[in-house]
């Protein structure tokens, strides 16, 4: 038995006042990947359970298995208690083991079940943030998630119709995207000035919320060498530059577009945030800069949602060697943003 206290009858948190610790819902991610191990190590990390009230959405058997793989003990209590997590066990785990190290309907369905519970807690005002460990998009698709990605599914489940964007965060740099999980062949047709401006605005609001008084934002070009004055494409002239100018007229400190092969190398330290045009344009750079620390924030949603930026790492499942740097950063960032929102509400 790797957990210290069984809490299978615990109840969900009730709505409370602003003068309290942030309330975080934690899910174990894809059960076929390293997510459960990462969650167990996070819960056992000294200090994790002192900074927030943490509600773990899993069955006791799943958490116990994760703790065994991680080689840790997880302090649990029936009610919010400093240094302890609360396990919200709804006895819904499948009777047959979910196959490890492979995509499956069962794995995707388990992820969606627990995330749906977390989103309901958010809709009811009972939690301030959600942290989930890595998911597998193919398993989610097999289980019926028909949206472009989990961000759009989150927005749908929360009834949110505003601008959203995945934000990728390292210690001193945050990126936002104009397009995300769409084929490269469709990217150019989605690069429009209003979308560029909206991405800049969302990134600016996020950076302001993180405590920066005057965020500095750079914007990537789409085409090689920034289009070379229209010789390699006109998106920079017709759409990106006008989108940047519109954001500047709103009082945002933004510059660009800059060629994407130089902005992350030569100009990265000039900016607090960078807007990219498509997924890999920013993700490759960010993962090269800090793969073990990168965090994805589901930007624009009414509740803070964070996850490590890496994947499910099927190749090391069950070995107990998964690194927790990105997971810890995601948790700490979610707690920090949620705490700032609580203070702002006061």
**Residue 96's CATH number:** 3.40.718.10
Q: How confident is the model at residue 166 (pLDDT cuts 50, 70, 90)?
A: confident
Residue 213 is predicted with a pLDDT of 92
Highest mean pLDDT among 6-10, 321-325, 341-345: 321-325
Domain tally, the chain = 2
Both 84 and 1 in a single domain? yes
* Rounded distance between C-alpha atoms, residue 139 and residue 147, angstroms: 13
Residue 17 is predicted with a pLDDT of 53
Residue 1 is predicted with a pLDDT of 37
* Rounded distance between C-alpha atoms, residue 109 and residue 82, angstroms: 32
| Token pair belonging to 45 | 């990390």
Q: Do 163 and 129 touch, CB atoms closer than 8 A?
A: no
Q: How confident is the model at residue 292 (pLDDT cuts 50, 70, 90)?
A: confident
Both 266 and 300 in a single domain? no
Last residue of a domain, one of 276, 291, 306: 291
Last residue of a domain, one of 266, 291, 316: 291
Angle at 164 between CA 123 and CA 37, to 5 degrees: 65
| Biggest CA-to-CA distance, the chain | 66
The dihedral formed by the CA atoms of 232, 164, 107 and 87, expressed in degrees to the nearest 10: 150
Both 151 and 252 in a single domain? no
Spell out a b/e string for 146-161, using b for 16 or more CB atoms within 10 Å of the CB, else e: eeebbbbbbbebbeee
- Backbone dihedral region of 219: left (phi > 0), alpha (psi from -120 to 50 degrees) or beta? beta
Q: How confident is the model at residue 184 (pLDDT cuts 50, 70, 90)?
A: very high
Both 201 and 346 in a single domain? no
Both 195 and 58 in a single domain? no
Residue 2 is predicted with a pLDDT of 42
User: Each residue of 221-246: pLDDT tens digit?
Assistant: 999 999 899 999 999 999 999 999 99
Both 19 and 148 in a single domain? yes
Beta bridge partners of 25: 55, 130
Residue 345 is predicted with a pLDDT of 78
Last residue of a domain, one of 270, 291, 312: 291
* Rounded distance between C-alpha atoms, residue 113 and residue 119, angstroms: 10
Both 280 and 215 in a single domain? yes
Residue 14 is predicted with a pLDDT of 66
Among candidate residues 38, 15, 66, the one with its CA nearest the CA of residue 295 = 38
Question: Residue range 310-337: average pLDDT?
Answer: 94
Both 200 and 145 in a single domain? no
Domain membership of residue 28 as a residue range: 1-171+293-346
Both 142 and 127 in a single domain? yes
Cβ count near 81 (within 10 Å): 14
Both 241 and 314 in a single domain? no
Both 13 and 117 in a single domain? yes
- How many CA atoms are closer than 13 Å to the CA of 140, on its beta-carbon side? 23
Q: Do 188 and 239 touch, CB atoms closer than 8 A?
A: no
Both 23 and 116 in a single domain? yes
* Rounded distance between C-alpha atoms, residue 151 and residue 234, angstroms: 30
Residue 289 is predicted with a pLDDT of 86
Cβ count near 94 (within 10 Å): 13
């Amino acid at each position: 038995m790797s957990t210290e206290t069984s809490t299978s009858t615990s109840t969900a948190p009730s709505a409370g006042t602003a003068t309290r610790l942030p309330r975080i819902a934690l899910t174990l991610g894809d059960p076929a990947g390293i997510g459960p191990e990462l969650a167990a190590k996070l819960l056992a990390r000294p200090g994790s359970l002192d900074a927030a009230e943490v509600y773990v959405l899993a069955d006791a058997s799943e958490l116990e298995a994760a703790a065994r793989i991680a080689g840790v003990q997880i302090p649990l209590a029936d009610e919010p208690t400093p240094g302890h997590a609360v396990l919200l066990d709804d006895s819904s785990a499948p009777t047959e083991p979910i196959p490890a190290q492979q995509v499956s309907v069962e794995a995707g369905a388990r992820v969606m079940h627990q995330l749906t519970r977390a989103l309901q807690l958010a809709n009811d005002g009972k939690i301030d943030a959600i942290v989930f460990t890595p998911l597998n998009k193919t398993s989610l698709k097999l289980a019926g998630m028909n949206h472009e990605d989990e961000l759009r599914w989150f927005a749908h489940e929360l009834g949110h119709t505003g601008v959203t964007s995945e934000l990728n965060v390292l210690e001193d740099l945050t990126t936002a995207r104009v397009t995300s999980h769409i084929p490269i062949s469709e990217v150019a047709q989605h690069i429009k000035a209003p979308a560029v401006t909206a991405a800049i605005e969302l990134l600016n609001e996020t950076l302001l919320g993180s405590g920066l008084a005057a965020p500095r934002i750079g914007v990537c070009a789409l085409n090689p060498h920034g289009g070379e004055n229209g010789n390699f494409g006109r998106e920079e002239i017709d759409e990106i530059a006008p989108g940047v100018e519109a954001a500047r007229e709103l009082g945002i400190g933004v510059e660009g577009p800059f060629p994407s092969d130089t902005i992350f190398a030569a100009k990265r330290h000039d900016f607090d945030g960078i807007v990219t045009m498509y997924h890999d344009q920013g993700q490759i750079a960010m993962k090269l800069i800090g793969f073990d620390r990168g965090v994805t924030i589901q930007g624009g949603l009414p509740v803070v949602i964070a996850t490590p930026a890496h994947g499910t790492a099927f190749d090391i499942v069950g070995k107990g060697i998964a690194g927790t740097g990105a997971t810890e950063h995601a948790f700490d960032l979610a707690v920090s943003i949620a705490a700032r929102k609580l203070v702002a509400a006061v």
